A and B are shown apart, each in its own frame.
Chain A
Amino acid sequence: MWRALSVLLLSFVFAAVYNIASARLKTAPAPAGAAAAAAQQVRPAAKPAAEIRTAAKTAVVYYFYTNTRCSSCKAIEAYTKEAVEKNFTAGHKGWKVAFKGVNVDEEPDKHFTADYRLNSKSVVVQKFAGDKALNWGKLEKVWQLLGDKSAFIAYVTDETRRLLDEK
């Protein structure tokens, strides 16, 4: 029994190390030529969801996440979405507001990490005039307010309105 458990745990360790190594190999940087070609296709810093891109004044409340999900991260996503759906369905002073979740581990969206200097799962409000990206704000307190849903929703709502009211 003891020996079987030891073998099982050692197998787990080998599988874990193998998984880490193979994942690292898969995500190794592309050759210089491929990188140069990819660089030419780099997307602009931030784009709104396609369906709202045509509107003149739009704002996207982004929730940025990674492949590794956690209960707190899912709560931030749900609360932020709820804040937008509850308080911005009719927009705000001519601004159309939408929620969008973006996985920054996916290749086309990795640039958001550098664009908004993200450190963790984050909420960012980005304003657009048509396709042109305007000012944006990162909602730094979402992690501190996570334990209080109503305070969290009020914070996201107030900060979004404040940013939209800014010139």
Chain B
Amino acid sequence: MITAGIDVGAKTIKAVIVKDNKIVARSINPTGFEPVETAEKTLEEAVKQAGISRKDIKKIFTTGAGRKSIPFADNNITEVTADAKGTNYLLPSVRTIVDIGAEEARGISSDASGKVLDFSKNDKCAAGAGAFVESMSRALELTVPLMIEISHKSTKEAPINATCAVFAESEVVSLIHTKIEKADIAHAVHDAIASRVCSMVRRIPIEKDVALIGGVANNTAIVEAMKKHLGVEIKVPEKPEYVSALGAALLAAA
């Protein structure tokens, strides 16, 4: 059976096609201002990649912040459910999932079958999500990949309160003026977001193994900082930004 999952995120839309419990295609596009069109386009790209035709897809499930806005979907499921299902497929030993997206972060506790036991979420606040990293990279005048790279070379701590992305931007600018190394500022930024996400995740029981998913999981500096703050190893699946879409596709086949 062929099914598709579409994750309609705040920043990007992801589509995954699953055939007989195997991933056959993945596609991603910036959400932009027309999420329905973008979802359509992203799914079409995945269909092409899979070498199938649209009518071969038996069911389409959506997830993500805009999951209810897609008219051609058969059903929609919450991000938390999709995250647990997708992670369980990729990393079956994981019991605690941290998902950091562009505008939201979640901590999820799941059982051996990928069923959600408990979860916690951040309030709508950029300081605990991917949007924070992007704001800070603009303030540092570095691309995000470069900011991650130099962050690993940091040798000193830099003081950033960073409870608010808007204020942190001013803090970063004044740190640059006082001649603090950009590497140390970048490191402090990653540490700040990790610390904030971890205090949110601690509201649920943290059981091993722990996985980090969502687009921010590609940021190795944050993964490192999360390890430090949680005091456990952190697994990152391959292509972590597609986990929710994968979960939706798997649930559509169930």
Q: Do A and B bind each other?
A: no
Q: Using CB atoms and an 8 Å cutoff, list the residues of chain A in contact with chain B.
A: none
